[in-house]
Amino acid sequence: MITLSEFKNLVSLSKRDICREIYVENAEKIKVKKEDRVVKNLAKIFDATLAISNKKGFHAMSLRNLSEGAGLSMGALYSYFTGKDELLAMIQEQGRRLTTRILVEQVEAAPGLREKLRAGIVAHIYLSEVMQPWFYFSFMEARNLDKKQMKAAIESEILTEQVFADILRSGREEGIFEVADPDMTAALIKANLQEWYVKRWKYRSRGVAVEDYARFVIGWVEAFVCPGRPLAIE
Amino acid sequence: MITLSEFKNLVSLSKRDICREIYVENAEKIKVKKEDRVVKNLAKIFDATLAISNKKGFHAMSLRNLSEGAGLSMGALYSYFTGKDELLAMIQEQGRRLTTRILVEQVEAAPGLREKLRAGIVAHIYLSEVMQPWFYFSFMEARNLDKKQMKAAIESEILTEQVFADILRSGREEGIFEVADPDMTAALIKANLQEWYVKRWKYRSRGVAVEDYARFVIGWVEAFVCPGRPLAIE
DNA sequence: GTCTATACATAGATAGAC
DNA sequence: GTCTATCTATGTATAGAC
């Protein structure tokens, strides 16, 4: 199984790259025009937003809190977004896009279906480890989205799940998996992936490494979908 | 397997009983003294709090919102709690106590260890179905608790998990379960129980009944802890 | 016990100086 | 580009009439 640090090298998602992507997507809404400056300040704004929101909630974070945390005045903040709601949407959308992209990439790169299942599980857990604050934020603040953004969030949730459901269905056809209800199975797999970043504090306090967790989930899932055919997880 | 309506009759947790219990626990803080009136109004206050908070978050719920939702003036609200934080703590604590009590009761009543495991799973899922708004609220608003309340919430989370871990450990000694890591296994079982109330919208839209979900989780867990020994879930 | 009226703090957002 | 100062709305909480 790939290790976390190998994964990091492989996907090379630097904070700068993510902020640059967000800048490009939202160029018309951002008043500041020098890319270097925008990227640098967006990174500070997002870091502070995630840090404060994940402690007490996005709604409870005032823009004065954010101003202090990001080291920018309130006036300056409004050069990077038109309002608090937009800041929320920017962070959420970027997180979703990144997840889907990396997950699909990693699954496609794997040779067989059992490998694809494993690759999907590992990719999701590692990604949520590297970007834990981002994942936690998306999860906890989804209900504060407006109608349109909410729809996008739900679609993304379903899409991720379908990646796993599709693998299971194909595997069933090929006789690799025994799975009566691929959608339900995919839903529970997803629940076990979310557990890693939602309850991160618990595993940290118990000293559970991310590789161990991934291995455990793979064993857990395969006991259900490949009964009687255990296969070592290297 | 017990059905939801049988479960409801068995545990007989009426909203009135819960509110009465809360009243008794918090009698010194509640200014109104006629029990009937207190119970009636607490029910309205909690219903409104859960309904509003579960849509947009407890912090985003203003006391003006709550006043309108509960049909009481803002002045009257303050006869039932000393501040918003206390309202939060009251709801959280009561939910925790109820969960622990019913879960332990149901597990103790089951004859063997495999039955205990199943009883625990079913009890938790059914309980979270009957009290879905309460469970969702506890889950989402835990981070808004003060230090002391937070400690209690974490202890409760761990305790629930240990109920399952203990069953698994005992079952391993008796040769009923094959489980290398009871704590980790219990943690993942709990994640699958939480899924039911955290993502209730998903299963509702797919028409998944609570009995089907419980059956699925039992099958899923037993595939891991009783490999090669499936047993019908009646 | 419950209401209305109100005090006082803090929220998001913007204008205009630098 | 960024800052300070300030506007207006909304928040929690309470006092005192009924």
Q: B146: domain CATH number?
A: 1.10.357.10
Interface contact B184, partner A, CB < 8 A: yes
Q: Residue A232: inside a domain, yes or no?
A: no
**Å between B69 CA and nearest CA of chain A:** 19
Q: Residue B40: inside a domain, yes or no?
A: yes
Asked whether residue A234 carries a pLDDT value surpassing 90, the answer given is no
Q: Residues 79 to 138 of A: which have CB under 8 A from any B CB?
A: none
Mean pLDDT, residues A149-172: 97
- Inter-chain residue contact A228 with B228, CB threshold 8 Å: yes
| CA B175/CA B113 separation, integer angstroms | 10
Containing structural domain, residue B161? 4-225
A49: alpha, beta or left, given left = phi > 0 and alpha = psi -120 to 50? alpha
Q: How far is CA B23 from CA A186, B28, B29, B32, in A?
A: 43, 9, 9, 10
Interface contact A33, partner B, CB < 8 A: no
Q: Residue B153: inside a domain, yes or no?
A: yes
Which stretches within A71-112 are classed as H helix? 74-77, 84-109
How many domains are there within chain B? 1
Give which of B103, B105, B150 is closest to B127, Cα–Cα.
Answer: B103
Q: Residue A231: inside a domain, yes or no?
A: no
Tokens of B34: 């006629």
Q: Which residues of B touch A217 (CB under 8 A)?
A: 188
Question: How far in angstroms lies nucleotide D18's C1' from the CA of residue B75?
Answer: 14
Q: Which of B57, B223, B228 sits opposite A144 (nearest CB)?
A: B57
In which band, very low, low, confident or very high, does the pLDDT at A15 lie, cut at 50, 70 and 90? Answer: confident
Q: Tell me the average pLDDT of chain B.
A: 96
Given this model, what pLDDT does residue B74 score? Answer: 98
Could you say which residues 13-72 of protein chain A have a Cβ atom less than 7 A away from any atom in strand D?
Answer: 31-34, 37, 41, 71-72
Q: Is the CB of A74 under 7 A from strand D?
A: yes
- Inter-chain residue contact B199 with A183, CB threshold 8 Å: no
Q: Residue B232: inside a domain, yes or no?
A: no
Give which of A123, A124, A231 is closest to A177, Cα–Cα.
Answer: A231
DSSP notation for A11-74: H---HHHHHHHHHHHTTTT-----HHHHHHHHHHHHHHHHHHHHHH-TTT--HHHHHHHHT--H
Q: Residue B233: inside a domain, yes or no?
A: no
In which band, very low, low, confident or very high, does the pLDDT at B234 lie, cut at 50, 70 and 90? Answer: confident
Compute the residue count for chain B.
234
Neighbours of B231 (CB within 10 A): 11
**Å between B57 CA and nearest CA of chain A:** 8
Q: Residue A230: inside a domain, yes or no?
A: no
**pLDDT one-digit tens code per residue, B132-177:** 999 999 999 999 999 999 999 999 999 999 999 999 999 999 999 9
Residues 6+ apart with CB under 8 A from B94: B18, B21, B22, B25
- Inter-chain residue contact A202 with B187, CB threshold 8 Å: yes
Question: Which bases of strand C have any atom within 7 Å of the beta carbon of a protein residue?
Answer: 1-6, 10-16
Q: Which residues of A touch B216 (CB under 8 A)?
A: 181, 184, 188
Closest-CA residue in chain B for A228?
Answer: B228
In which band, very low, low, confident or very high, does the pLDDT at A90 lie, cut at 50, 70 and 90? Answer: very high
Q: Which residues of B touch A55 (CB under 8 A)?
A: 143
Q: Residue B230: inside a domain, yes or no?
A: no
In which band, very low, low, confident or very high, does the pLDDT at B13 lie, cut at 50, 70 and 90? Answer: confident
Test the B interface: residue of A143, A150, A193 with most B CBs within 10 Å: A143
Neighbours of A173 (CB within 10 A): 10
Q: Is A12 exposed, middle or buried (0-12, 13-18, 19+ CB in 10 A)?
A: exposed
Mean pLDDT, residues A142-166: 96
Asked whether residue B14 carries a pLDDT value surpassing 90, the answer given is no
Compute the residue count for chain A.
234
Q: Give the global pTM.
A: 0.97
| CA B141/CA B90 separation, integer angstroms | 12
**pLDDT one-digit tens code per residue, A40-75:** 999 999 999 999 999 999 999 999 999 999 999 999
Asked whether residue B12 carries a pLDDT value surpassing 90, the answer given is no
| CA A118/CA A215 separation, integer angstroms | 9
Asked whether residue B122 carries a pLDDT value surpassing 90, the answer given is yes
| CA B45/CA B71 separation, integer angstroms | 8
Q: Which residues of B touch A140 (CB under 8 A)?
A: 140, 143
Asked whether residue A14 carries a pLDDT value surpassing 90, the answer given is no
Nucleotide showing the shortest C1' distance to residue B31 CA: C1
**pLDDT one-digit tens code per residue, B70-113:** 999 999 999 999 999 999 999 998 889 889 999 999 999 999 99
